[in-house]
Chain A
Amino acid sequence: MLSISNLSKSFGGVVATNNVTLEFPEGSLSSIIGPNGAGKTTLFNLITGKLKVDSGKVKLEDEDITNLSTRNIVLKGISRAFQISNIFPSLTVKESLMSSLMSKNNQAEKLFIPFHSKALEEEAEELLEILEMKSLSNVICSNISHGDQKVLDIGLALSLDPKILMLDEPTAGMGPEERWKMVETIERLWKLKKLTLIFIEHDMDIVFKISQRIHVLRYGSLLASGSPQEIKNNEEVINAYLGEDFEAV
C-alpha cells in the first residue's frame, strides 16, 4: 500500500531521517517507536508533504508521491492527526467536521454556497456517531477536554476518507483510563473503515498490545522491523530502547 525507500532528510548537519526503507501493507496496523529525537515525527512530515524529502521515494500503491504538496497527498488518501491536538478553537465540534467534509467534497472555495446545508450536517452527524461524540456536537472545540480534542483531531483526519491514517502519539498527555479508551476507539475505527493505520506511540503496553508490525527508529535510522514478538526479543532494540527488564503484556 504505502512504501518508502531509502528516505533521507537532514537539517544542516543533523541527519533526522537516514536511509529508511519501510513497507506498510494494505489494512495493516503498524506502529513506529523509538527514543525522543529518533525521527518519528520527521518521518510523518516527510510522508505527508510537510517537509521536502532530500533523497529517496514515497510510493502509494505504486504511484510516486514524493514531495507532492500537502493538499495533493491528502487528495491521494493519506491523512494524519497530530501530536499536539491540532484543531479549530473557535468552531464547534460539528462545524469542524463539516468544514473538513466540505474540503473533502472539493467545495471549500464556493463563494455563494451556504455552509450550513442539510447534506453536510447529516454527513457530519454520521461521523459524530462513529466517533461517539454526538453529545459534544455544538460545543466550541476549545472548550472540550484534551482527550476529546485528540479524538476530534483523528475525526478530522478520518473525515477526509483516507486509505492511510497516520496518528502521531494519539494518547499523548492522557491519563491511563483515557488512554485505553482511545486505543479502543482507534482499533474500532481501523476495523470499521478498513484503514491502513500507522501510529507513533511511547506507551509500550499499547504498542505491543495492538500493533501487527512494529518499526523501531534510532538516530534517524531503522533499527528493527518485525512482529511484536520479534521486536520484544531483539537484542539491539532491548539495549537501545526497551531496556533489560522490559516485560510487555
Chain B
Amino acid sequence: MMNADSMTSIVTQLNALTDGLFLLSCFAMVAMRQILACLKIFIIQACLLAVSACLLGYLYATEHLFWVASITVAAKVVIIPWLLRKSISDDVYARREVSQVLNIPTSLLIALGLAIFAFALTSPLLPATAGPAKVNLPVGLAGLFIGAFVIAARREAVPEVIGILAMENGAFLAGISIAPTLSLIAELSAAFDGLVVVLVFGLLTRRIYKHVGTTMVGNLTILRED
C-alpha cells in the first residue's frame, strides 16, 4: 500500500496533467475546422475541468469541489451540448469548414502568445497560491484569453458561443484553485448563467438562420450604410 505522502504527490501530478491537457484542448479549439469537432472539444474540456475539481477536492478534502464537478458535468457535458444541438438546425453542423479571420497556423501562434502572456501575468501571484493547485491559475487564465480569441477569430455564430463557454471554463479552472470553498450558490448561479446564455444564443441563432439563411456573423460587416 502506498503511504499518504506519495499518494498526495501522485494526485498533484495528475491534477497538473489534467491542467496540461486542458491547455491543449484550448489550442485544439482554435485549430478545429468543423463546428461539431469544436463542440466535442468543448465537452472534453468540461470533463477535464470536472476531473481537476475532483482531484483538488480530494487534496483539499472539501466536498464543495465535488459539487462543482457534478454541476459541471451536468450542465456542460450533458445539457449545454444537447441544447446547442437541438436549438440550431443540422445544416449548420453539417458544414465542413468554419471560416476564420486568420489561417490556422497564425491563429495557433497567437493563441500560444496569449498562453505565454497568461503565464507571465500570473507568475507574481503564484507564491500566494502555493500548493498543489498552482498550475490551475495560469492555465485557467490562458483558457480565458484563448476563449476570447476564439470569439474574435471565428466568423460563425456557434463556435463563438462555444468560445464564450470556453472562457467560462477557464474562469472556473482558475477559480477552484483560488477559492476551493466557495459557497455552492455561487457555483449554481454561474452554471445557470451559462445555460441561459446558451439558450438565448441558440434561439437567436435559430431565428437568424431562418430569416437570413446563414449564421455567418462575419458577414454582418457588409451591413453598413454608404
**Is chain B a partner of chain A in the same complex?**
no
